[in-house]
Chains A and B, each alone.
Chain A
Amino acid sequence: MGKLSNLKIVLLVLVVVLVLVIVKTVGKDGFKQDAKSAIEAVDSNNFIISANEIENNKTQYLIVDLNESGSSRFENSLKIPFEELLEESSLKQLKETENKILLVASDISITAKAWVILNQLDIKNVFILSNEDNPEVLKYEFQPDTMARLESDLQ
């Protein structure tokens, strides 16, 4: 008992450090994932579902329509306007679903931003719908001007 009381000050220091660590890491209601996970998921291209793929597998997905207004492209989709994405009721539905989550919107820039936010909140199985198989393909080819020479302009 006497030995333990001698260790009091040491244990006190450890408890203070532990509390500080807990407050810094767990205390805030924030993001917990490493941004690297988002980069890796995009890189492996396993977060995009094309319009063709979804046609036959609609039942596998909880389709979340992020558009602010207008009727949804999919029947039985869950309407969560982008700015309400983090409301408690919205997050509850997304966390509790057993289906994969498919984000749809009129513009891929909305779904892309929503996907990163949900990914970093550690909500699993989130995908985005793309009308193209790969929206990051350059559709044009640059035609160089074979006559372009700096020297000819200058000398």
Chain B
Amino acid sequence: MDARIKITVLLVGLGFLLAFMPNPSSKIFKLKPSELLEKSGSKEIYFSVDEVARFVNNEDSTVQLIDLRGADEFRKCNIPGSVNIPFDDLLNPNWSVYFSQKNMRTVFYGNGDQNANIVWTIATGLGAENCYVMEGGLNEWFKTVMLTKFEGERITPRENALFENRYKARDIFTQINSLPDSLKTKFFDAKRLQRAKVGWWVLGRNERMRDWEIVQIENSKIVNWYFDK
């Protein structure tokens, strides 16, 4: 038989197969249902707001906080250092880098518990590792970290450490979220430089004032920050 006929039959056959194959861009869970159920039942997937406050205070670089709320809510306030991945944009391929970092612990939070748990299940089902949920969401963060006060007469060392952690995180949260958006970015840029090297660093040009923003770092601290023509 003519080789052309054989090749034609082969290609037509493969074409039919391709047409009925699942869409490669579809996101089907990789984990088996029983594996996902077992992981879902574990209490170890949760971090309390106090634990997250400690990550913020220590600037823990092994933790990435993912804020699942919309961009408007995120702009109003968020836990310092968070990345905003709105819930409805979760499967956007642009975010895949945040779900493929095996040495990072990824902590999801929303305003409550619902969306963070849904996203945890989806991310884990799709094969992401080291995913966690901040228990209670931002509502619990406000209730516990932002608003609690010690009201007893004598404070134990454990309580002292707990409240010190909360007060420190509260200050950072309030200070960062009170800054204009342009300065928030610069603040984190400066922090990164602070960890890197000592000296004078030009952060960039301030669009509004048309001036250069410059910081001086000594002993791992920003000792000077100013604008210059």
Contacts and interface: CB of A to CB of B under 8 A. Distances in A.
A27 interface: no
Interface string A22-40: 0001001111111110110
A10 to B, nearest CB: 5
Interface stretch (B57-65, B106-114, B157-165): B106-114
Contacts of A78: none
A116 B118 CA distance: 6
B122 A28 contact: no
Interface size class on chain A is: 35 or more
A145 B87 contact: no
Interface stretch (A53-61, A79-87, A92-100): A79-87
A31 B28 contact: yes
A34 B142 contact: no
Contacts of A42: 87, 115, 118
A107 B17 contact: no
Contact of B27 (A34, A121, A139): A34
A contact patch SS: helix
B101 interface: no
B9 interface: yes
A154 B223 contact: yes
A9 B32 CA distance: 36
A13 interface: yes
A35 B27 contact: yes
Contacts of A51: none
B130 interface: no
Contacts of A140: 138-139, 142-143, 146-147
By DSSP majority rule, is chain B's interface helix, strand, loop, or mixed? helix
B76 A36 contact: no
A43 interface: yes
Contacts of A39: 87-88, 90-91, 122
A95 B125 CA distance: 21
A86 B110 contact: no
A42 B40 CA distance: 19
Interface of B: 1, 5-6, 9-10, 13-14, 17, 20-23, 26-29, 31-34, 36-38, 40-41, 69, 73, 76-77, 87-88, 90-91, 110-115, 117-118, 120-122, 125-126, 133, 135, 137-139, 142-143, 146-147, 174-175, 177-179, 183, 186-187, 222-226
Given A10-B9, A115-B118, 10 more contacts: A7-B9, A17-B13, A18-B17, A21-B21, A108-B113, A113-B118, A113-B120, A135-B112, A155-B224, A155-B226
